Chains A and B, each alone.
Chain A
Amino acid sequence: MADRREALKIIGAIGTTCAFPFASGELYGQHQHPAPGKQAEIGKPQFFTAAEFAVISRVADLIIPATETPGAVGAGVPSYIDLVVQTNEQHQTVFRAGVKFLDASAGGSFVSLTEDKQIALLLPLSDAVDRGELNSAGEKFFRAMKSMTADGYYTSKIGMSDELGYHGGTVLAEYPNCEIPEH
Chain B
Amino acid sequence: MAIKTYDVVVVGSGAGGGVLSAHLARAGVDVAVVEGGPKVNTRTDFNTHAMPYEFANRHIPTMKAGKPGFDSERSRGVGGKTMLWNAVAWRLSERDFKGRTFEGAGEDWPIGYKDMTPYYDRIEREVGVCGNLDHLEDLPDGIFLPPVPMKCSDVMIQRGAAKLGLKIIHVRKSTLSRATPARPACHFCGNCMAGCDVAAKYNSADVHMNPALKTGHLEIFPNSIVREVVVSNENRVTGVRFLDRTTLKEGEVRGRSVVVACACVQSIALLMMSKSALYPSGLGNSSGQLGKHFVPHMTGGVDVFLKPLIGKKLTADEGFLDHAYLPSFMHSRKRDYARSFGAQFGYQNRRSVGWARQIPGFGKDYKQAIKDKYPSYLTFSPYGEKLPDARNFVDLDYEKKDSFGLPLARRHVVWTDNDMKIFHDMQNWSKEILLQAGGEILSVSKEPNTNHELGGCRMGNDPRTSVLNAYCQSHDVKNLFVVDGSVFPSASEKNPTHTIMALAARTAEHIADRLKKGEM
Residues of chain A at the chain B interface (Cβ within 8 Å): 1, 3-4, 7-8, 10-11, 13-24, 27-30, 32-34, 36-40, 62-65, 67, 71, 80, 83-84, 119, 122, 126, 130, 146-147, 150-152, 154-157, 159-161, 163-166, 168-173, 175-178, 180
Q: A4-B443, A177-B149 are in contact. Are A170 and B189 (CB under 8 A)?
A: yes
Q: Please tell me if the beta carbons of A65 and B367 are within 8 angstroms of each other in the complex.
A: yes
- When the two chains form their complex, are residues B449 and A175 in contact, meaning their CB atoms are under 8 A apart? no
* Structural contact, A19 and B362, CB atoms closer than 8 A: no
Residues of B47-66 contacting chain A, CB below 8 A = 48-49, 51-53, 55-62
Q: Across the interface, do B190 and A160 meet the contact criterion of CB distance under 8 Å?
A: no
Q: Verify B354–A176 contact, CB threshold 8 A.
A: no
Prevailing SS type, chain B contact patch: loop
Chain A residues with CB under 8 Å of B194's CB are 15
Please determine whether A163 and B371 come into contact, CB atoms closer than 8 angstroms.
yes
Interface assignment of B222: CB less than 8 Å from any CB of chain A: no
Q: Can you add 14 more A-B contacts, CB < 8 Å, to A175-B148, A175-B323?
A: A8-B354, A14-B52, A21-B299, A24-B453, A29-B73, A36-B57, A62-B363, A63-B366, A83-B56, A146-B357, A150-B353, A164-B370, A165-B313, A169-B49
Give 22 CB contacts A-B under 8 Å: A11-B354, A16-B352, A17-B193, A19-B321, A19-B495, A20-B451, A22-B449, A24-B296, A29-B76, A32-B72, A36-B55, A62-B362, A64-B366, A150-B353, A154-B353, A155-B58, A160-B51, A169-B48, A170-B190, A171-B188, A172-B188, A175-B148
User: In the complex, which residue of chain A has the Cβ closest to the Cβ of B80?
Assistant: A29
Please determine whether A175 and B366 come into contact, CB atoms closer than 8 angstroms: no
Q: How large is the interface on B (under 10, 10 to 19, 20 to 34, 35 or more residues)?
A: 35 or more
> Given A16-B347, A154-B353, A164-B371, are A171 and B152 neighbors across the interface (CB < 8 Å)?
no
CB distance from A67 to the nearest CB of B (A): 6
A173: B residues at CB distance < 8 A: 187
A27-B55 CB under 8 A given contacts A15-B193, A170-B190: no
List the 4 shortest-distance A-B pairs measured between CB atoms, nearest first.
A7-B354, A169-B49, A170-B316, A154-B353
Residues of chain A contacted by B76 (CB below 8 angstroms): 29
Q: How far, in whole Å, are A128 and B212 apart by their CA atoms in the complex?
A: 61
CB nearest to A171 among chain B residues: B187
Residues of A within 8 A of B86 (CB): 17-19
Measured in the bound complex, the distance between the Cα atoms of B55 and A63 in whole Å is 23
Q: Is the CB of B314 closer than 8 A to any CB of chain A?
A: yes
B402 to chain A, nearest CB (A): 11
Please state if B413 and A175 are interface contacts (CB–CB under 8 Å).
Answer: no
Please, how many angstroms separate the alpha-carbon atoms of A152 and B413 in the complex?
35
A84 lies within 8 A of B53 (CB): no
Q: Any chain A CB within 8 A of the CB of B441?
A: no
Question: By the criterion CB–CB under 8 Å, are B366 and A19 in contact?
Answer: no
B446 at interface (Cβ–Cβ under 8 A)?
yes
With beta carbons under 8 angstroms apart, the residue of B52, B59, B381 that contacts A20 is: B381
Nearest CB in chain A: distance from B63 CB, A: 11
- Known contacts being A16-B193, A40-B56, A155-B58, is A164 close to B374, with CB within 8 Å? yes
Cβ contact within 8 Å between A176 and B193: no
Q: How far apart sit A176 and B155, CA to CA, in the bound complex (Å)?
A: 13
Q: Are A168 and B350 in contact (CB under 8 A)?
A: yes
Distance A130 CA – B76 CA, assembled complex (angstroms): 41
Whole-angstrom CA separation of A178 from B154 in the bound complex: 9
**CA separation between A28 and B357, bound complex, in Å?**
22
How many whole Å from B450's CB to the nearest CB in chain A? 4
Write the chain B residue with the least CB distance to A166.
B350
Smallest CB-CB separation from A163: which chain B residue?
Answer: B371
Min CB gap B164→A, angstroms: 17
Binary contact readout B311-323 vs A (1 if CB under 8 angstroms, 0 otherwise): 0011010111111
B59 and A34 contacting across the interface, CB-CB below 8 Å: yes
Q: Tell me the nearest residue of chain A to B368, going by C-beta.
A: A67
- Please name the residue on chain B nearest to A10 by beta carbon: B354
Given the complex of chains A and B, what is the CA–CA distance between A176 and B319 in angstroms? 9
Which of B52, B61, B347, B354 is packed against the most chain A CB atoms within 10 Å? Answer: B354
Say yes or no: A154 contacts B370, CB within 8 Å. Answer: yes
Give chain B residues whose Cβ lies under 8 Å from the Cβ of A33. 59, 61, 71-72
A18: nearest residue on chain B (CB-CB)?
B86
Interface string of B147-162 (1 = CB under 8 A from A): 0111110111000000
Contacts of A11 in B (CB 8 A): 348, 352, 354
Asked whether, in the complex, the Cβ of A34 is within 8 Å of the Cβ of B57, the reply is yes
B104 close to A (CB within 8 Å) = no
Contacts of B150 in A (CB 8 A): 178
- Bound: A67/B187 CA distance, A: 35
Q: Is B349 touching A15 in the complex (CB atoms < 8 A)?
A: yes
- CB proximity of B99 to chain A, nearest CB, Å: 23
In the bound assembly, the distance between CA atoms of A154 and B450 in angstroms comes to: 29
In contact, B156 and A151 (Cβ under 8 angstroms): no
Interface centre among A19, A20, A40 (most CB of B within 10 A): A19
